[in-house]
Each structure stands twice: as C-alpha cells, then as structure tokens.
C-alpha cells in the first residue's frame, strides 16, 4: 500500500512580543552576496531581548527565505491578534550609488532585468492609505541602504543605528528620529523613512502585544503590474528565489 506523505504542519507564531526575522547573506548568485544581514538578525534579537526578555524569536536565513515561506509565515503570524505590527525593512529600491568614504559599503539592491529610468517620486513599500501597522524603511526610495563595516563587523547601517539607540521609554516616533540622527551623524547619506497611523507612532515601543517583522537583504523594482504606481514601477523585496512585490506585501498586511 502506498501512503501519501503528509506535509509538515506550520509552526504557530505565538507570543506576547515576537521577533519574526528573514535575512539573506548568501543568494544563489554569488555576485549578489551580502555581508551584514545575519549580524542584523543577531543584533536585533539580542537588543530586543535585552530590554524585553519575553521576546520570542523566529529566525529564517538564506535559502529558507523563499517567496512561499516568507508569505506563508507572515500570513500565519497575522492569524494571531496583535496590538502593534511593525515591518522593519533594511533594503533599498534604487540603484543610485551610496557615496560614503568612511565605511566599506555595499548597496542592498539588485538591478532589475531591464534598465529603467526612474523619476525620484515618493513611494512606499508595505504602505496603504488604511494601514494599521508601522513601516520602517532603511532609506528613501531613490537611495540605497548600506551593508557596511561598522565597529569591527558588517551590518546593515539602518539596523545597526536603530538597535543602538533603542530604549524602552521611547515612542516609535522617538525611535525613528534617534535612528535618523545617528545615521546622519555617522556620515551615512541614507535617510530612513517611517509611516503609520498616529495612534501607533505615539505608543511606547513594544509596550503591548507586538509582532516585529524584520527583513534584511536586497531590494529591487520591476514594471508595475496593475497600474497603481506613479512611476510605473513596483518595489519588491528580492528574496532567495525571486521577488515579493509591494502589492503582495500590502495585501498580506491588511489582515492586521
């Protein structure tokens, strides 16, 4: 008799404060490898548990960060009821070069298959007009996010700055401003972004049931598929086996 093998059940994402992180250093193409994404994951976990010891970490790396696994895991996490959901993205969606003479820097960006001239318009991945989550991004949409050598190791400059300044007494808006200031004072040209409703931005950081979704890796862009983009391009996270479009991510996050 032939028995059909059952798929493994999904691991439920539960906890009062959850760190759900997906990071990629080693892509299938060695030319796309990064250096600091694993350190971003370790740094975030250590910092969050330092201030809030009850944080539960679910960590995915490299070949684990596929389109299907990322989307399924985020969907599974959002089956839980959260007071605050945070998308924290240390990647970029522009091929403008980061000009930084003080650090060994690589941009976290993969060029699209076809060369496209992009106007510098304000665009936001993981955002919507009715968003009920907070979105932190490493830089403006026309800039690059640095994968940089800082204090003896490679890190995403954005993650490094955010974790260095994080304190429990801050609001989310305070945290963003402190991160932005440290990046500027450390000679990084990237300007981070934050967006979300005021009632979330004015909360004390991680003061209630919170899902912290971290992505460190490459970003890219691709021709718009549904006509909703001012510059006719969709931003995307460039995961191990392809792209996750901004439209796909926003659709999942509407479950918040």
Enumerate the domain spans of the chain: 17-113+128-253
**CATH class of the region 17-113+128-253:** alpha beta
Residue 219 CB contacts under 8 Å (≥ 6 apart), including other chains:
89, 91, 92, 93, 108, 109, 110, 125, 145, 235, 236, 237, 238
Q: Assess whether pLDDT exceeds 80 at residue 97.
A: no
Whose tokens are 């792209």? That residue is 243
Round to whole Å and give the CA distance between 139 and 103.
17
Asked if 116 contacts 220 with a C-beta cutoff of 8 angstroms, the reply is no
CA 243 vs CA 67, 91, 101, 154, 184: distances in Å: 7, 13, 31, 24, 30
Give the model confidence (pLDDT) of 190-222 as tens digits: 999 999 999 999 999 999 999 999 999 999 887
User: Degrees (nearest 5) of the Cα angle 75, 248, 179?
Assistant: 85
In the chain, % of residues over pLDDT 90: 67
Give me the pLDDT at residue 182, please.
98
Give the model confidence (pLDDT) of 130-152 as tens digits: 689 999 999 987 888 999 999 89
pLDDT band at 123 (very low <50, low <70, confident <90, very high): very low
DSSP code of residue 63: G
**Mean pLDDT throughout 49-63?**
98
């Amino acid at each position: 008799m032939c028995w059909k093998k059952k798929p493994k059940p999904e691991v439920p994402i539960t906890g009062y404060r959850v760190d759900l992180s997906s990071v990629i250093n080693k892509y299938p193409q060695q030319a796309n490898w990064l250096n600091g994404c694993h350190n971003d994951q370790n740094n975030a976990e250590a910092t969050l548990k330092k201030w809030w010891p009850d944080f539960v970490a679910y960590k995915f790396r490299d070949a684990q960060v596929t389109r299907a696994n990322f989307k399924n895991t985020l969907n599974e996490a959002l089956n839980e009821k959260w007071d605050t959901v945070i998308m924290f993205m240390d990647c970029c969606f522009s091929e403008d070069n980061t000009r930084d003479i003080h650090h060994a820097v690589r941009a976290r960006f993969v060029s699209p298959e076809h060369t496209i001239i992009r106007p510098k318009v304000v665009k936001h991945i993981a955002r919507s007009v009715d968003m009920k989550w907070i979105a932190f991004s490493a830089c403006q949409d026309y800039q690059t996010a640095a994968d940089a050598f800082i204090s003896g190791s490679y890190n995403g400059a954005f993650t490094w700055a955010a974790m260095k300044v994080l304190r429990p007494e801050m609001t989310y808006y305070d945290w963003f401003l402190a991160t932005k200031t440290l990046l500027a004072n450390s000679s990084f040209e990237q300007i981070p972004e934050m967006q979300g409703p005021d009632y979330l931005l004015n909360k004390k950081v991680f003061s209630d049931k919170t899902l912290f979704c971290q992505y460190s890796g490459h970003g890219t862009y691709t021709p718009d598929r549904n006509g909703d983009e001012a510059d006719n391009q969709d931003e995307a996270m460039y995961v191990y086996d392809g792209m996750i479009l901004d439209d796909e991510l926003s659709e999942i996050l509407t479950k918040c």
